[in-house]
Amino acid sequence: MQFKRIQVLMIILFIAVDLFLFNWWRSGRQSDTQVTNASSNVIQEMRRQKIDLPQFSNKREYANYIAAKPDYQFDETYQLLPTYSSKIRQNTLEVQFSQRHNIQLPTQKVAKKIANAQGYQHNALLTQLADDQSYYSQTMAGLPVLSVGGQLIFSYNRKQELTRFTQTKVTHIKRLRDERVTITEKDALIDLYQFNELNSGDVVGRGLLGYDTQLTVNGYDIYLPVWIFVVTHSNGKQQLVKINAFTGENLTS
């Protein structure tokens, strides 16, 4: 009888402690409303600093860590081109066009054909940073590759004729672990401001979520999702800034 009473008392004590710990945890936890208010305050502060912000999204996406290897095979590209001068250097296909033998230089339509046939998508943000070039990015898990690997870069002359291009590819793409939620475009902008990457008079373009690589393990490049933005500073210079879309870490070089 005494033993049963002790059991009942222990159960009651356990429940009481559990409830206490839960309430203590909840009281110290910021509510969604508090987080939203704090974010809004930072955005207002940025605008008071005359930082021109884009029409940002507050939508959360899901992404993975991804492993992939550089691809050395460019047979698909060769089949799309006439016999132009080409070579492979450090995992990169380099193709040079010329007007020899009265052959006209290709136009942007040819560039789009080469890119679309291999699943590369036009990357307006990276193109914005380049003079007389257009970027097309390979995609992984629905997002563009933002690093050097997985890019088609076309160069043009003043007549917008194609003079050369380079291509890199990734293959053996593997998703690592389950999908995780990413920070929003708004969160990334706030992180950039708190890391002092945004200053008074800066103009920030729309962000782009994609995959960038940070390290190599056993021959595989490891990619993680990042938010990138083009910032035009008050002196007119443009800068590419990056935020880790999982942790909010500043990856700007």
Query: Are 45 and 144 contacting, i.e. CB atoms less than 8 angstroms apart?
Result: no
Give the tens place of pLDDT for each residue, 205-220.
Answer: 999 999 999 899 988 9
For residues 62, 125, 237, 234, the Cα torsion angle rounded to the nearest 10 degrees is -60
Give the tens place of pLDDT for each residue, 72-83.
Answer: 888 888 777 765
User: Rounded to an integer, what distance in angstroms lies between the CA atom of residue 135 and that of residue 117?
Assistant: 15
pTM, entire model: 0.81
For residues 131, 195, 184, 201, the Cα torsion angle rounded to the nearest 10 degrees is -50
Give the tens place of pLDDT for each residue, 139-198.
Answer: 999 999 999 999 999 998 888 888 889 999 999 999 998 899 999 999 999 999 999 999
Helix segments in the chain, DSSP class H = 2-28, 32-48, 75-80, 108-117, 124-128, 185-194
Q: Where are the domains of the chain?
A: 31-64+174-244, 75-168
Element (H, E) at 86: strand 85-89
Residue 116 confidence (pLDDT): 86
| 234 pLDDT more than 50 | yes
Question: What is the fold, at CATH topology level, of the domain defined by 31-64+174-244?
Answer: Lipocalin (2.40.128)
Query: Are 69 and 172 contacting, i.e. CB atoms less than 8 angstroms apart?
Result: yes
205: which residues sit within 8 A by CB, 6+ positions away? 54, 125, 128, 229, 230, 231, 232
Do domains 31-64+174-244 and 75-168 share one topology? The answer is no
Question: What is the fold, at CATH topology level, of the domain defined by 75-168?
Answer: TATA-Binding Protein (3.30.310)
**Burial (CB count <10 Å: 0-12, 13-18, 19+), residue 223:** buried
User: Rounded to an integer, what distance in angstroms lies between the CA atom of residue 44 and that of residue 56?
Assistant: 14
Instruction: Give the pLDDT band of residue 25 (cuts 50, 70, 90).
Output: very low
Q: Which two tokens stand for residue 187?
A: 């969160």
Residue 103 confidence (pLDDT): 54
